[in-house]
Structure 1
């Protein structure tokens, strides 16, 4: 029986590179965003609230990142009822809103990104730009 497992962890230079790419993409779109990058356990590595981004989106962007890390999948796919119940049970730590993506390398979870303040598609586009900048698996 095996008692340990090998895990991946996104480094802070990787998180900062992803964050910079996300901000650049959001600026090019003209949509200021709140962006969180977390490790595999949902703890924040890097974050920013761009000038003009909705301040309440800080909370949703963090929840999107933590949800994506927790379920190792994009956010926005769970049913409204389940998402609402999970959000209440986790005191806002889980959200059904779109805009969160896991950060994977070779299929293995290394962290996640959550983006908020635009439409769901805009949030996902910014998150995908961050993943591409660090060579993470595309989603």
Structure 2
């Protein structure tokens, strides 16, 4: 391995669309309209979708959850509320402690993240996990 480069894994737009479709199907099956955001490893949005009936403000939290999960390479929701509040203020809402964000990894390598919002934290995670399963990402 060279010290001058590293190998990376990237989520394709086809993978993002397949993950989105699986998330939409799961949200429909549990009857919870959701906002879903999938980002690349740097936190840039690949796809962002608001289902009919999903809460408007959840568009922002879904994006923050995805960016946070990509940034920390870990599920969201484990920060203390105080730290999460401070991080949210410092990042102008770009980071959140709310549950519902999962990293997307293939063979342990970070490829991006998904953030889901508008349900309970567990419902958000359930929808996100369905997306990871369909694209063959590592389970979280």
TM-score normalised by length of structure 1: 0.99
For 1:47 and 1:134, locate their aligned partners in 2 and report how far apart those are by CA, in whole Å. 17
Kindly state the Cα deviation for residue 5 of structure 1 after the two structures are TM-superposed: 1.1
> Which secondary structure does the structure 1 equivalent of 2:7 belong to?
coil
Post-superposition CA distance 1:8-36 (Å, at most 9, x none): 11000000000000000000000000000
Matched, 1:25 2:33: no
Kindly state the Cα deviation for residue 69 of structure 1 after the two structures are TM-superposed: 0.1
Q: Which residue of 1 aligns with 2:57?
A: 56
For 2:87 and 2:125, locate their aligned partners in 1 and report how far apart those are by CA, in whole Å. 21
> Which secondary structure does the structure 2 equivalent of 1:48 belong to?
strand
For 1:84 and 1:3, locate their aligned partners in 2 and report how far apart those are by CA, in whole Å. 37
For 1:120 and 1:25, locate their aligned partners in 2 and report how far apart those are by CA, in whole Å. 15
Q: Over aligned residue pairs, what C-alpha RMSD do you find? A: 0.7
Extract unaligned runs of 5+ from structure 2.
Answer: none
Q: Which residue of 1 aligns with 2:41?
A: 40
For 1:66 and 1:17, locate their aligned partners in 2 and report how far apart those are by CA, in whole Å. 19
For 1:60 and 1:121, locate their aligned partners in 2 and report how far apart those are by CA, in whole Å. 15
Q: Which residue of 1 aligns with 2:13?
A: 12
For 2:67 and 2:125, locate their aligned partners in 1 and report how far apart those are by CA, in whole Å. 15
Post-superposition CA distance 1:93-114 (Å, at most 9, x none): 0000000000001111000000
> Which secondary structure does the structure 2 equivalent of 1:91 belong to?
coil
For 1:45 and 1:111, locate their aligned partners in 2 and report how far apart those are by CA, in whole Å. 9
Kindly state the Cα deviation for residue 39 of structure 1 after the two structures are TM-superposed: 0.2
Counterparts of 1:103-114 in structure 2, within 5 Å, are: 103-114=104-115
Q: Name the count of aligned residue pairs.
A: 139
